[in-house]
Amino acid sequence: MTLPFPPREEIARLTARMLLEIKAVHFNAAEPYTYASGLKGPTYIDCRKLISFPRIRSTLMDFLSATVLRDAGFDAFDNIAGGETAGIPFAAFVAERLELPMTYVRKKPKGYGRNARIEGAMTEGQRVLLVEDLTTDGGSKLSFVDAIRETGASCAHTAVIFYYGIFPETTQRLADHGVQLHHLCTWWDVLAEAKTQGFYDQETLAEVESFLTDPRAWQAAHP
């Protein structure tokens, strides 16, 4: 296992550039996107798209694995778990790099058979890393973490490719649940790289920056 350990700033910049190059990033101030919460915003990201770009996918999984090793430790985990559904492929890629078992966590019990939420072999006492594609405010991670802990395993870390980075309560919410967040880049990194590389027009970028600076105020002005 040989992984690159570039500086965090370089990882963030390159990750942002890759997401922009494959058009996983969408900015639209004229017709804002509606999020799962029902609120709106001029930004949208689709990290699932990464699975179709092998060179970029491989580089980002190297970055994510290296980030986790650097931040959490080189012998910190016994099992890599993906959250259904977007986290499953990325957990598999990370598990392969770290040479660890891989499992996945369902959003809710299966409803038949074993009525399981954990698929694969997860055992009591294992130290589990939860891998997902992204996190907005951290809320969805807590249910996955609880399901992992119900097996008797521990889960004190979650790793994502993309972290919104605009809701200050996110890391505290996870910390209150005993979970540390590891990520590659945020909206601020994407905005900076979009400006540098000339993605999108100035008006759109200015509106996106306004949203990122105060998302709640922006949403209140765009009901």
Q: What is the pTM of this model?
A: 0.93
Instruction: For residue 173, say whether it is annotated as part of any ligand binding site.
Output: no
Instruction: For residue 106, say whether it is annotated as part of any ligand binding site.
Output: yes
Average pLDDT over residues 202-207: 94
Residue 111: the pLDDT is 64
Instruction: For residue 108, say whether it is annotated as part of any ligand binding site.
Output: no
Instruction: For residue 196, say whether it is annotated as part of any ligand binding site.
Output: no
Instruction: For residue 49, say whether it is annotated as part of any ligand binding site.
Output: no
Instruction: For residue 137, say whether it is annotated as part of any ligand binding site.
Output: yes
Q: Is the pLDDT of residue 56 over 70?
A: yes
For 155-185, write each residue's pLDDT tens digit. Answer: 999 999 999 999 888 999 999 999 999 999 9
Instruction: For residue 134, say whether it is annotated as part of any ligand binding site.
Output: yes
Residue 53: the pLDDT is 98
For 110-150, write each residue's pLDDT tens digit. Answer: 766 566 899 999 999 999 999 999 998 877 899 999 999 99
Instruction: For residue 138, say whether it is annotated as part of any ligand binding site.
Output: yes
- Between 124 and 221, name the one with better pLDDT: 124
Instruction: For residue 110, say whether it is annotated as part of any ligand binding site.
Output: yes
Instruction: For residue 75, say whether it is annotated as part of any ligand binding site.
Output: no
For 60-111, write each residue's pLDDT tens digit. Answer: 999 999 999 999 999 999 999 999 999 999 999 999 999 999 999 999 887 6
Domains within the chain, CATH numbers bracketed: 8-221 (3.40.50.2020)
Instruction: For residue 140, say whether it is annotated as part of any ligand binding site.
Output: yes
Average pLDDT over residues 199-213: 94
Q: Which of 118-123's residues contact partners 24+ apart within 8 Å by CB, and which partners?
A: 118/81, 118/147, 118/148, 118/151, 122/79, 122/81, 122/148, 122/151, 122/153, 123/151, 123/152, 123/153
